[in-house]
Amino acid sequence: MSKLTPQKFVIENFASQASWIGPLLSSLNSFFNDLVISSSNKFSIEDNLFQEIKEIKFKNDSNNFPLSFKTKFNVNPKGIILIYNYDNTLATCATQTPVICWRFSNNEIIIDSITGLTASTVYTFRLLVIYG
């Protein structure tokens, strides 16, 4: 894919419209500049996509469930993907593939259970919450 190199709009190219076109060209130049920056690997999940990343730390003990956290959007998520699984007890990345049972209520994600983890172990999860 080729690199984007847009040219700026300048008032001098629209001399007969100079009295009103300046603010429009300024807005267009700013918009195109933002597009170039965004298309140059500057997108962020937090600022630009209809999804969010949440980090939770918990001890895998039945007494600690349900876990819950507020969501960025008041919309029922389409899914949750575990993107980071750290075993704080062993101080290493965990090798388990847990299954997260969750639901959405009152602008919160409620995790009722997580299967496939070691009991009484402290974990840090990063969850990608996808809306649609």
Query: Coil, strand or helix: which one is 132?
Result: coil
Query: Tell me, what amino acid is at 4?
Result: L
pLDDT of residue 108: 96
Burial of 12 (C-beta count, 10 Å sphere; 0-12/13-18/19+): exposed
What is the pTM for the complete model shown? Answer: 0.69
CA distance 27 to 95: 50
Beta carbons within 10 angstroms of residue 113's beta carbon: 15
What are the structural domain ranges in the chain?
11-42, 49-130
Residues 76-102 pLDDT 10s = 999 999 999 999 999 999 888 899 999
Query: Tell me, what amino acid is at 40?
Result: S
CA distance 62 to 86: 19
What is residue 109's DSSP assignment? E
Residue identified by tokens 């990345």 is 93
Residues 38-62 pLDDT 10s = 777 766 767 778 899 999 999 999 9
